[in-house]
Amino acid sequence: MPPCWQVLRAGRAVTASIQDLLAPWLAERLGLSLRAIAPVSGGCIHRAWCLRLEGGERLFAKTNQASALAMFEAEATGLRSLARWAEPPLRVPEPLAVGLAGSLAVLLLPWLELDGGAAQGASGWRALGAALAQLHRRSCGGESRGYGFEADNFIGSAPQINTWHSDWATFFAACRLAPQFRRAAAAGRPLAGAERLLAELPALLGSHSCRPALVHGDLWSGNAALLASGGGALFDPACHWADREVDLAMARLFGGFPAAFFAGYEASWPLPEGAGQRQELYNLYHLLNHANLFGGGYWHQSQASLDGLLRGGPAG
């Protein structure tokens, strides 16, 4: 979902062709009658649409080529998992349908009216931070089989491996950093010190002990918003069971979250000692993923982060 659901203008031919595919799909799957669609801003991988039904109700749809269906199915699974542990004022939109409409892969979601004018201000962000902390806390008592997830999914457009492990450091090495290091090497951009970092990861995490919590997994500011009706929402997850600190680390990586968000989280469930040091380690995964997807300066950032971790000693 885009961070700001702003309806745009688009070519009539493109819009009409998408509507021609969506209308019979909606009628068959959900018995809904589609009146009109309009493109929505914010997506960089998929197209996004505002669907207006004959009764006036609006829905949100993502579309892409049929080959993207696995991405939508993984997103739907993640949204359902997050929604299970979310309580007001946090809302996670639960999928209404996912599948193929002719040549289109489609993910259908409720329409959320976002607080584009930030009417809630700092109090809204503080409440959203606290709600995330409570989601993490509640899920810690869940039925996780360790660190991982019920299926592999995606981080952006890249595959994300979620094989279950009983040890957090082992999971983070095997399922997060190692696959990114391999992709970088295969692209001709091996990172110096990668194998050493993997070997030293247990020492870097030191005595840090964490219970598996269900995390959003891709918590940059574009995947969270305040709602016009009050409360806040999280969407576009890359869910897995992990150290809850990974969500807070990524929320700081690219900016965009106000200080009130972190204050609300900390007031609800304070982070343990050493979280600031572990943040650098956890965010290396996202820097590597961006380097593998987009190249450019992310390669330098990844190498600089790796070098700093090897110089800095334990993060636990």
Cα distance between residue 75 and residue 82, in whole Å: 11
Tell me how long the chain is.
Answer: 316
Quote the pLDDT of residue 8.
46
Per-domain boundaries in the chain: 12-110, 121-312
Q: Is the domain defined by 121-312 classed in CATH 3.90.1200.10?
A: yes
For domain 12-110, give the fold: Phosphorylase Kinase; domain 1 (3.30.200)
Quote the pLDDT of residue 141.
78
Give the predicted TM-score (pTM) of the model: 0.93
Cα distance between residue 64 and residue 80, in whole Å: 21
Angle at 155 between CA 152 and CA 161, to 5 degrees: 30
Quote the pLDDT of residue 4.
39
Can you give the three-state secondary structure of 220-252, one letter per residue? CHHHEEEECCCCEEECCCCCEEECCHHHHHHHH
Catalytic positions: 218
Residue corresponding to tokens 């991988």: 45
Cα distance between residue 224 and residue 253, in whole Å: 14
Quote the pLDDT of residue 1.
36
In order along its 316 residues, the chain shows pLDDT tens digits of 333 334 444 456 678 899 999 999 999 999 999 999 999 986 779 999 999 999 999 999 999 999 999 999 999 999 999 999 999 999 999 999 999 999 999 999 999 999 875 667 999 999 999 999 999 999 997 878 999 999 999 999 999 999 999 999 999 999 999 999 999 999 999 999 999 999 999 999 988 999 999 999 999 999 999 999 999 999 999 999 999 999 999 999 999 999 999 999 999 999 999 999 999 999 999 999 999 999 999 999 999 999 999 998 556 6
Which amino acid belongs to residue 170? T
φ, ψ for residue 101, nearest 5 deg: -110, 90
